[in-house]
Amino acid sequence: MVLQKVITQLLQQYLVKTLASSPAFQRLAVTIAGKLQAVQKVAEQTAQQAAQQVCVARARASACTAEPRGVCCARVSGCVSD
């Protein structure tokens, strides 16, 4: 059991050093990081658009009858009422 942990740790250290010094792995890491940032940006934009659509739909359906139309929508971040 102890020998297995030692071997695993030594193998992990070797792999980390090998990958860290590999130009191909570094390019792959940079490419993946860039794509993840792009996907995150699209996801944030999509979430914002969905929040706006929900807000506008609620306002149109008079879900906020006790308040002025824009006040209800103002609670949703970035919501724009018509």
Query: Domain ranges in the chain?
Result: 24-82
For residue 40, CA distances in Å to 15, 46, 50 come to: 29, 10, 15
Segment holding 66, helix H or strand E: none
Work out the percent of the chain whose per-residue pLDDT is above 90.
56
The answer to pTM > 0.75 is no
CB contact at 8 A, 56 and 81 = yes
- Burial of residue 43, with CB atoms counted within 10 A of its CB: 0-12 exposed, 13-18 middle, 19 or more buried: exposed
**pLDDT tens-digit map of 12-44:** 999 999 999 999 999 999 999 999 999 999 999
